[in-house]
Amino acid sequence: MDLITTTADLSALCDRLAKHRVITVDTEFLRETTYYPLLCVVQMASAEEAAVIDALAEGIDLRPFFELMANEKVLKVFHAARQDIEIVWHRAGIVPHPIFDTQVAAMALGYGDSIAYDQLVERVTGHRPDKTHRFTDWSRRPLTEDQMHYALADVTHLRDVFAALDADLKQRGRSDWVSEEMEVLTSPRTYDFHPERAWERLKTRVRKPKELAVLIEVAAWREQEAQSRDVPRGRILKDDVVGDIATHAPTSPERLANLRSLPKGFDRSKWGSDIVAAVQRGLARDPATLPKLERPRNNSNGAAIVELLKVLLRMTSERHAVASKVIATVDDLEQIAADDNADVGALHGWRRELFGEAALALKHGQLALAIEKGRVVKVERN
């Protein structure tokens, strides 16, 4: 087994891998106690070799690895690539490109929503990977032989999975479907989380512009605090607490103390003062500068339409062997129910052809759903 611990050996490895059209990549990292992921190990493989890189080795410069990630002539294959890409973005300010995500490809081929790597390997190759070291402490040194075997298996099995999925996509004419998803995964905006956009990550629903303004400011403060201290956001404030503050907008330590979601005495801390200041900044914002709040879509007719669209989505997913999550989300369905011209993925490109047109037809009574021999079918209406 090759364990790379020096910059010279890493550079030589990357030079060899750069000669291949396709390589497989995976990372091992820790994030339980930090805001930014701690990169511990990188493993890569070509058709000819596989190697483990000790990213914590003393004096090692990972620049050759980052340059390989940016090499446009080499396709980088990941499984569930988002966190791996986020690490490269944080460390080097680049997004790996071009890439292929086997989890996304599997969804486009009907393997289910967000299938786990070991399950996908078993279904495609028949081999059951050993996941004993999935939750091992990858920051401890020296790395054991078992850890290195585990790390290498992740990228060597990935070669076979990629080959099978890529061939299946081409045979079914779905390669473009996956390419569209890769454009989202390789967009810097996907990983560039500025504090002023932190509120977008929250599932908290606010109903008034005042609440939204406070939410934006408090979420931005939490993001900055988490980044500066390099701790998880939840160590600063839980998501539901941020929503609670946005709803009640406490403008003084005394009012902050009345929130049951905060621990006793929090109002007298520096963080308490910072939160009050963030609330006050939010209330002082010009409502005209705020993002537009979506109107609630909870009327009975809209809810009934969404339920019918869910049935159509499931039927479409099963008929074409595509994970429903890839075609449309519940939020997409809610927006389609409210607006024929909603700017959602389900009404663009191959998704519109596969599902969107039928969804609009069902919404306007030009299409009906019926049960025939125990199966839901579409019925055209004049």
Q: What is the CATH number of the domain that holds 118?
A: 3.30.420.10
Distance from C-alpha of 341 to C-alpha of 153, rounded to nearest angstrom: 46
Q: Are residues 80 and 227 in the same domain?
A: no
pTM here? 0.86
Q: Can you tell me which residue has the tokens 């929090």?
A: 266
Q: Are residues 340 and 326 in the same domain?
A: yes
Q: Are residues 129 and 75 in the same domain?
A: yes
Q: Are residues 36 and 85 in the same domain?
A: yes
Question: What per-residue confidence (pLDDT) applies to 297?
Answer: 52
Assess if residue 131 is contained within a domain.
yes
Asked if the model's pLDDT at residue 295 lies above 80, the reply is: no
Assess if residue 2 is contained within a domain.
no
Please give the structure tokens belonging to residue 353: 């052809």
Q: pLDDT category, 375, cuts 50, 70, 90?
A: confident
Assess if residue 212 is contained within a domain.
yes
CB 137 within 8 A of CB 30: yes
Share of the chain above pLDDT 70, in %: 97
Q: Which residues contact 89 (CB under 8 A, 6 or more apart)?
A: 95, 188, 191, 192
Nearest to 168 by CA among 110, 116, 109: 109
Q: Are residues 199 and 172 in the same domain?
A: no
Distance from C-alpha of 99 to C-alpha of 286, rounded to nearest angstrom: 42
Assess if residue 175 is contained within a domain.
yes
112 conformational bin, left if phi > 0, alpha if psi -120 to 50, beta if neither:
left
Mean pLDDT of 40-50: 97
Question: What per-residue confidence (pLDDT) applies to 191?
Answer: 86
Question: What per-residue confidence (pLDDT) applies to 296?
Answer: 53
Domain that holds residue 305: 301-380
Q: Are residues 92 and 157 in the same domain?
A: yes
Assess if residue 136 is contained within a domain.
yes
Domain boundary among the residues 143, 167, 190 is at 190
- Residue type at 357? E
Q: If DSSP states are collapsed to H, E and C, what string results for 140-203?
A: CCCCCHHHHHHHHHHHHHHHHHHHHHHHHHHHHCCHHHHHHHHHHHCCHHHCCCCHHHHHHHCC
CB 313 within 8 A of CB 331: no
pLDDT tens digits, 301-353: 678 999 999 999 999 999 999 999 999 999 999 999 999 999 999 999 999 99
Assess if residue 361 is contained within a domain.
yes
Domain boundary among the residues 172, 190, 208 is at 190
Question: What per-residue confidence (pLDDT) applies to 316?
Answer: 95
Please give the structure tokens belonging to residue 158: 């990935």
Name the average pLDDT for the chain: 93
Q: Which residues contact 334 (CB under 8 A, 6 or more apart)?
A: 297, 302, 306
pLDDT tens digits, 88-116: 999 999 999 999 999 999 999 999 888 99
Domain boundary among the residues 221, 254, 289 is at 289
Q: Can you tell me which residue has the tokens 């076979």?
A: 160
Number of structural domains (the chain) is: 3
Q: Are residues 59 and 83 in the same domain?
A: yes
pLDDT tens digits, 191-238: 877 899 999 889 877 889 999 999 999 999 999 999 999 999 999 999
Q: How many Cβ atoms are within 10 Å of 178's Cβ, its own excluded?
A: 21
Grouping H, G, I as helix, E, B as strand and the rest as coil, residue 373 is: coil
Q: Where are the alpha helices (DSSP H) in the chain?
A: 7-17, 63-69, 82-92, 102-108, 117-125, 145-172, 175-185, 209-229, 233-236, 239-248, 253-257, 270-283, 300-320, 324-327, 330-338, 349-351, 357-363
CB 347 within 8 A of CB 333: no
